[in-house]
Structure 1
Amino acid sequence: MRIAIFTDTFFPQVNGVAKSLKRYSDYLLQKGHDVEVFAPELEGSNPYPYVHQFMSIPFFIYPECRTALALPNTILERVQAFSPDFIHVATPLTMGVLGSHAAKKLHIPIISSYHTHFDQYLDYYKLSWISPILWRYLKWFYSSSERIFVPSQETLAHLQTKGFTNLSIWTRGVDCSLFQPSNQTVNIREKYNIKSPIILLYVGRLAPEKDLFTLQKMIEHFSEKWKESVHWLIVGDGPSFGEISSLSNENKNITMTGYLSGNELASCYAASDLFVFPSQTETFGNVVLEALASGTPAIVSNRGGVSGIVEHNKTGKICEAGVYQDFIKETEQLINHKVSRLIMGKNAREYALKQTWEGIFDELISECKRTIKQKIVTLKKNA
């Protein structure tokens, strides 16, 4: 098939959506499909031959996500020349609007994927009053889609309560050859001079919507019994980096690495005893699956897509969202029970091994084909 993908974020940007879409594109090309990606220009990136980049500015809530400034006719001409079987719209922002406009003009079916709970982000930026307007816009935007793919059952249920239909789940996979318990290519303890026996890891964007307040409270209120035994390894960057840095200046048991990737990131997962991720706004939570693949039990919130990845008391712990005392209790309990940690780590790895990208993409493309075929049959009947 010929598939055009419209997105506001793409590799080498460091986020779950960008990484997933890059893997999706790689898969399609390997399977012999023709792919063209339409994305905002990213300074310093080396675009692939199949990626069309357009001048862009930072999105005001999420600066890492770019808002493209492109002429609709330019997009229209490029899409018409490519003549895709369907257009995959992976964003409701400007690139998505441009892709949908081209699809409607050229009578090309639209398949959408929903990746981000922007409505929940608004709460963290004191913009909740925009939420009703946002939902009206999202319902209008996605109404043209033949199918809307979401990454988790939680996200599907969330959209159903808002009146969305034509929903399907497109879950995520993990590279178990990179993220594995034995991958300690980089000696993390030596590199960051970690002496404490227990390493607690956080990986993700450092921003308010990740509920860093709960993470900070955990660090501050950890019991004296365990405070000296743990070292917090915080991997990532973002607008809250400075705030967390000030906390690390007051606590010698915190290391902040900034963004990491490849073997260095995989080594952090493998070297850690527990993965702590309090975010309540995830539609999926790729980093949680990476932790499980590394044999590292995850301690997560009971809100968002992460609660569908972790099985309580089997591959980790699910805590009351925003209640740092609950996170501390469950974390300390596992610190105190090494055997439980090891069993959970083994279970986590076994679960992750079943989450293969190949199988997930096979099912995604099969459903896209079924959806497009059904659309064609309907059009013929109505002709």
Structure 2
Amino acid sequence: METQNLRILFVVDAIKGRNGVGTYYQDLVGLLSERIERAELVAPSLDDPHFCQGGSLPMPGDTTQRLFFPHMRALTRLMEEMQPHVVVVPGPGLFSLGGYWLARKMGVPVCVTFQTDYTHLVQLYWGPLLARLVCGLLDRLNLAMFHGASSVVTISETMMEQARAIGVARPHLVGTPVASEFIRCPAEPPRDGVRSVLFVGRLAAEKHIGAFLELAARRPDLTFTVLGDGPLRGEVQASAERLDNLFFAGWRSRDEVMTFLDNHDVLMLPSSVEAFGTVALEAMARARWVITSHACGINQWPGLARGLLPLGEGETLDQGLRRLEQLEPAWRTGLARRGRQLAVAVNDETLASWEDVLGQTALRAPERPAPSATLGLLRRLGARAS
């Protein structure tokens, strides 16, 4: 099928712009809208609620986030009006399950994405017994959605291995897009070496924010800034009050994130769990130096690795930063410029990969009906949200 004629509906649980997954689909839909007939995003929003967005509850383990219920009648009306060729869902959230079930009911091919390491996240926030039960449920939901999908997509080699391990025969590997403004606006490398360091992300255990705060205390000669929100907000605020060189800016919009990147020299992503690391790619697009932990999926992309400074096994943030500072100035400048070039190239490859997968998926029919248990659950949720 000609990709320019595609109509694609994305049904996503992640709040728009509030985390990596929410940012991913916000950017992807914006970019695809310029290349296909119609790309529509259904996702919760705190500032501008979507008409398919129902009520919400605090997220278990992180009250700074909300778990939204889909408005099933509104979502049904949208699908009937749009008649999408493919429905894309990152499972297994409530919005995703709603989009998955409706697509199967209407005979629309489904593309399920696998880009969050739920097992590690659950183990970080819940006790061993509850984590084991929840992980088992998530694995079953994931596998059921994979088996009913016409295609499965993921964003890193690590997630590819996990998908195969739970029974996905042929997952597709695609990249991560960059919002057009990060690429179209001119960007130049820092001119005066390393003076300022930035962290952008959820203030949560998996982001290893404590290591960044410790580094700020060890390097009073540099300026450190934290952007984001999450359950560790209080810890960050306390450190900012104690340290003269550490500033906490809270959660910021995408436009503001780009401004903060441009006003800092280095971005650090010290995560212990990170399927990809979108902000690292955004920093590369802005010609910034990027230091990543070995857990970040972005390190696995050969097309991007040459523009990063990944930490070695056992290497600390302090050691990685000093390694950057010891490089010849010309080499540092070349690294930043190369990072921007690589980010632009991978963005183009990502869009081409998505178009290819979606074009193939549109030609495939669903293989089995949606499970009756899923139908009952979604009917109850839809009734509550209506």
TM-score by length of 1: 0.81
Distance in 1, matches of 2:302 and 2:242, equals 32
What is residue 37 of structure 2 aligned with on the other side?
33
Aligned-pair identity (%): 18
> In 2, are the aligned partners of 1:178 and 1:262 still within 8 Å (CA)?
no
Change in CA separation of 1:59 and 1:317 when aligned onto 2, cut-off 3 Å: same
1:20/1:172 contact within 8 Å kept: yes
Q: Which range is displaced more, 244-253 or 134-143?
A: 134-143
Q: Which runs of 5+ in 1 are unaligned?
A: 185-195
Is the alpha carbon distance of 1:251 and 1:205 closer, same or farther for their aligned partners in structure 2, counting shifts above 3 Å?
Answer: same
Change (3 A) 1:140 1:43: same
What do residues 160-189 of structure 1 show as CA deviations (whole Å, max 9, x unaligned)?
2333233111211323224723799xxxxx
**Residue 354 of structure 1 aligns to a residue in which SS?**
helix
- CA 1:302–1:70: 2 relative to 1, 3 Å: closer
Alpha-carbon separation, structure 2, partners of 1:343 and 1:182? 8
Greater mean deviation of Cα atoms: 308-317 or 249-258: 308-317
Q: What letter matches 2:183 in structure 1?
A: C
- Within the candidate set 2, 10, 31, 1:5 is matched to 10
SS of 1:368 mapped into structure 2 = helix
Q: How does 1:123-162 map to 2 (within 5 A)?
A: 123-127=123-127, 128-129=131-132, 130-162=134-166
| Contact 2:216-2:245 within 8 A present in 1 as well | no
Matches within 5 A, 1:1-383: 1-11=6-16, 13-40=17-44, 42-45=45-48, 47=50, 52-63=52-63, 66-70=66-70, 72=72, 75-76=75-76, 78-127=78-127, 128-129=131-132, 130-174=134-178, 175-178=182-185, 180-181=187-188, 198-220=195-217, 222=218, 227-309=219-301, 314-320=306-312, 323=314, 326-339=316-329, 340-356=331-347, 359-375=349-365
Q: Deviations over 1:109-146 (max 9, x none)?
A: 11112232221111221344332332233212322111
**Aligned CA distance change for structure 1 residues 71 and 244 (closer, same or farther; 3 Å):** closer
Letter in 1 for 2:236: I
Alpha-carbon RMSD: 3.2
1:311: Cα distance to partner? 8.3
Q: Is the 8 A contact 1:179 1:293 kept in 2?
A: no
Could you say what secondary structure the match of 2:358 adopts? helix
8 Å Cα contact 2:57/2:66 also seen in 1:
yes
Tell me, yes or no, if the aligned pair for 2:226 and 2:248 is still in contact at 8 Å.
yes
Q: Is the 8 A contact 1:298 1:310 kept in 2?
A: no
Instruction: Using CA pairs under 8 Å that are at least 6 residues apart, name the structure with larger relative contact order, 1 or 2.
Output: 2
**Which 4+ stretches in 1 moved above 6 angstroms?**
310-313
Cα separation, 2, equivalents of 1:141 and 1:306: 26
How far does residue 309 in structure 1 lie from its aligned partner after superposition?
4.9
Displacement, 1:288?
Answer: 0.4
CA distance, structure 1, for counterparts of residue 304 and residue 105 of structure 2: 48
Inter-CA distance 372–134: structure 2 relative to 1 (3 Å threshold)? same
Using the TM superposition, give the Cα deviation of residue 76 of structure 1 relative to its aligned residue in structure 2, in angstroms. Answer: 4.0
Q: Distance in 2 between matches of 1:263 and 1:74?
A: 30
- More deviation, 257-266/110-119: 257-266
CA contact (8 A) 1:142 1:148 kept: yes
Q: Which secondary structure state, in structure 2, belongs to the residue aligned with residue 206 of structure 1?
A: coil
SS of residue in 2 equivalent to 1:68: strand
> Given residue 208 of structure 1, which amino acid in structure 2 is its aligned partner?
A
SS in 1 for 2:33: helix
CA distance in 2, matches of 1:103, 1:74: 14
Deviation at 1:26? 2.8
Alpha-carbon distance change, 219 to 158 in structure 1, aligned in 2, over 3 angstroms: farther
SS in 1 for 2:316: helix
Cα gap change, 1:338/1:253 in structure 2, threshold over 3 Å: closer, same or farther?
Answer: farther
Q: Distance in 1 between matches of 2:110 and 2:168?
A: 15
Kept after mapping to 2: 8 A contact 1:179/1:266: no
Letter in 2 for 1:348: G
Evaluate the alpha carbon distance shift between residue 367 and residue 311 of structure 1 in structure 2; reply closer, same or farther with a 3 A threshold. Answer: closer
In 2 relative to 1, CA 241–64 (structure 1 residues): closer, same or farther, beyond 3 Å? closer
Quick one: structure 1 residues 284 and 179, their matched pair in 2 at CA, closer, same or farther if it must change by over 3 Å? farther
- Alpha-carbon offset, residue 320 of structure 1: 4.5
CA distance in 2, matches of 1:144, 1:111: 9
2:184 partner SS: coil
Q: 1:207 to 1:140 in 2, by over 3 A?
A: same
| Alpha-carbon distance, 1:148 to partner | 1.2
- Unpaired segments of 5 or more residues in structure 2? 1-5, 369-386
Change (3 A) 1:61 1:307: farther
Change (3 A) 1:108 1:267: closer
Quick check: 141-150 or 120-129, which moved more? 120-129
